[in-house]
Amino acid sequence: MTVQIRTVNVKNLARDIHRAVGREKDRALRAAHRKIANEVRDDARTKARFTFGPYHRASRAITSRAFPNRAVVRLQKRTDPRIFGAEFGSIEFKQFYGWRGNQWTQGSGPDSQVGYALHPALRENVPRIREEYGDRLMDAMAAAFPKRG
């Protein structure tokens, strides 16, 4: 499952920067995406570790990856099959908290009750992610287009 927070059309921006400067942009944007994804992953794992048993043990199934055009934080079932029950809850299986749903949409905000660790971490971090991403994007642009003078 992948949740995307869209603020700008990063793919087109990344393509245009790549045409102008090549691989340096890829390295800078990938580093920015890695930092953001790792911070959200760590926050979600911390939330998971302070909840009940199944999520505490399944927290390692929250993983992150970085690409030149996106940051990804995932719930990986093959790492621990309990992760989806722990994140979304369950109606049938009593070892998990109650069902909270699995439909997260852009703009859900803090009022949304989806998820127990990853989704709350995403909701809480959206303003910081936007600010951090803007800062990292400016750093990448500065590296790609150094001042000439």
- Each of the 149 residues of the chain gets a pLDDT tens digit; together they read 444 545 556 667 666 666 665 666 677 778 888 988 999 999 999 988 887 667 778 889 999 999 877 889 999 998 888 888 888 888 888 888 888 776 655 555 545 678 888 888 888 888 888 888 788 777 767 766 666 54
Supply φ then ψ for residue 66, to 5 degrees.
Answer: -135, 140
Task: Name residue 54's amino acid.
Answer: P
Model-level pTM greater than 0.85?
Answer: no
Name every residue whose Cβ is closer than 8 Å to that of residue 24 and which is 6 or more positions away in sequence. 143, 144
* pLDDT at 61 (0 to 100): 92
Residue type, 50: F
Torsional class of 131: left (φ above 0), alpha (ψ -120 to 50), beta (otherwise): alpha
What is the tens place of the pLDDT at every residue in 67-83?
Answer: 877 889 999 998 888 88
pLDDT score at 23: 67
Residues composing the chain: 149
